[in-house]
């Protein structure tokens, strides 16, 4: 196990590209199963979650080659429809393979997925969508067994705009006879990226980015291989912007899609940062003196993203005044608040509301990441804090940030990854 050592108080400066989006590459890797051909993905981040997806693909019989930020998936040898618990437990997103395997082979068996413990995240909506297409699903010995001799077109009405359920429905629909229409679909940019990939393989999918996605008669056998570049990760971009806002400095992010981050950049602008955007660039300048903003309420896209809430909160622990955070997506999304308090932050949490009263200075401390984005919040706080911080629980952070130390070092941070000392 390793620990991040960060000596805070150094202003950030420089220009860095934003990595490919974790939440796009994972469902697209699953979608590669549908082509029965070779698909090549570019701008893929080096993440433990990506490694877990590759391990699943290889277990299913696919050939996978990785070179730099490109991944080639040859799904022609696929011959297995079951994913064992040891692979499923690595990440919650592994459930996205369910729809793709079902469309490709007609049956799938997997255990309940793992991932960050952010509160109840049942996959009932995923299963309801598959049942609507004709899948028979049974639960036995902790596993899900799904079978469908033939999937059919239908109308799917999601009770909430679930990203995962929307993606699983889109993937399963590739094997359906007839059109599938997903109502109240998630509108996140990653859904649009999945649609672009499916269309590049020859599918007819439309509506991504709106609340209704239409998949025209999947007919999987017509899908072919393709090349596709993963969109940039908007949450990673939000993290670097929050870090510069907190520590002070002047940074430019390249290879971004600024409109996907408008709620975050608007918040940081209101907090006192100078923010400018170009076609694929975001520039932020901060004197390190922030002030509170109006209440931040997380919402499905295009609202304020729940994944950006922790790093933005970390920055606003140093803002003069009080900022209210209301979390509407995940029940346990404030697990980072207690660790930020160890660094001197003034945060009161009541249910799904966090009241953040800005302090003049944070102090370095030994803290532990309990989940992916909470870990990012601790990094943001440590970069702005006085003294040295030691952050453990890096397995969570490594799920979503590729070369975190390298990127922050390029921006001028004093950050090192070192082996965790043994317990005496």
Q: With 0-12 CB in 10 A as exposed, 13-18 as middle and 19+ as buried, what is 385?
A: buried
Instruction: Say which residue the tokens 């702005």 belong to.
Output: 384
- What SS3 class is residue 216? coil
What are 327's two structure tokens? 């979390």
227-229 sheet: strands from edge to edge: 63-67, 70-74, 38-42, 227-229
**How many other CB atoms sit within 10 Å of the CB of residue 86?**
10
Rounded Cα gap, residues 184 and 35, in angstroms: 27
The CA–CA distances, whole Å, from 204 to 178, 226, 242, 374, 379 equal 12, 15, 38, 38, 42
The active-site residue, picked from 44, 116, 146, 154, is 116
The CA–CA distances, whole Å, from 303 to 48, 187, 196, 306, 309 equal 28, 10, 22, 9, 11
Rounded Cα gap, residues 340 and 309, in angstroms: 14
Whether 154 is catalytic: no
Sign of the CA dihedral 109, 111, 115, 121? positive
In the chain, what is the straight-line distance between the N-terminal and C-terminal CA atoms, in Å? 15
Chain-centre distance of CA 301, in angstroms?
13
Known catalytic residues are: 116
């Amino acid at each position: 196990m390793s620990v991040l050592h960060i000596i805070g108080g150094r202003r950030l400066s420089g220009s860095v590209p934003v990595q490919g989006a974790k939440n796009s590459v994972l469902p697209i890797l699953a979608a590669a199963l549908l082509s029965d051909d070779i698909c090549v993905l570019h701008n893929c981040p080096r993440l433990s979650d990506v490694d877990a997806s590759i391990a699943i693909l290889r277990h299913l019989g696919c050939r996978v080659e990785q070179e730099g930020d490109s991944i080639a998936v040859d799904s022609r040898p696929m011959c297995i429809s079951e994913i064992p618990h040891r692979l499923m437990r690595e990440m919650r997103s592994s459930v996205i393979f369910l729809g793709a395997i079902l469309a490709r082979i007609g049956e799938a068996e997997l255990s309940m997925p793992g991932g960050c413990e952010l509160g109840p995240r049942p996959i009932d909506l995923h299963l309801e969508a598959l049942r609507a297409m004709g899948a028979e699903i049974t639960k036995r010995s902790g596993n899900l067994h799904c079978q469908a001799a033939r999937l059919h077109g239908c109308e799917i009405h999601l009770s909430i705009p679930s990203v995962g359920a929307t993606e699983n429905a889109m993937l399963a629909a590739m094997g359906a006879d007839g059109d599938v229409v997903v109502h109240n679909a998630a509108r996140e940019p990653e859904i649009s990226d999945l649609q672009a990939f499916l269309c590049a393989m020859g599918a007819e999918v439309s509506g991504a980015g709106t609340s209704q996605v239409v998949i025209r008669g999947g007919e999987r056998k017509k899908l072919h291989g393709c090349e596709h570049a993963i969109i940039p990760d908007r949450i990673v971009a939000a993290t670097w912007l929050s870090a510069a806002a907190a520590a002070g400095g002047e940074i430019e992010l390249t290879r971004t899609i600024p409109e996907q981050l408008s709620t975050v950049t608007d918040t940081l602008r209101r907090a006192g940062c100078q923010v400018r955007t170009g076609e694929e660039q975001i520039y932020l300048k901060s004197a390190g003196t922030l002030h509170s903003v109006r209440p931040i309420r997380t919402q499905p896209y295009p609202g304020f993203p729940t994944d950006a809430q922790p790093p933005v909160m970390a920055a606003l622990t140093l803002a003069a005044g009080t900022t209210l955070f209301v979390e509407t997506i995940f029940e346990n999304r404030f697990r980072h608040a207690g660790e930020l308090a160890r660094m001197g932050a003034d945060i009161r949490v009541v249910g799904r509301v966090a009241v953040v009263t800005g302090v003049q200075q944070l102090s370095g401390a030994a803290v532990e990441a309990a989940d992916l984005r909470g870990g990012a919040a601790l990094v943001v706080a440590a970069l702005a804090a006085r003294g040295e911080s030691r952050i453990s629980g890096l397995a969570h952070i490594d799920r979503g940030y590729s070369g975190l130390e390298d990127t922050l070092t390029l921006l001028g941070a004093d950050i090192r990854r070192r082996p965790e000392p043994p317990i005496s």
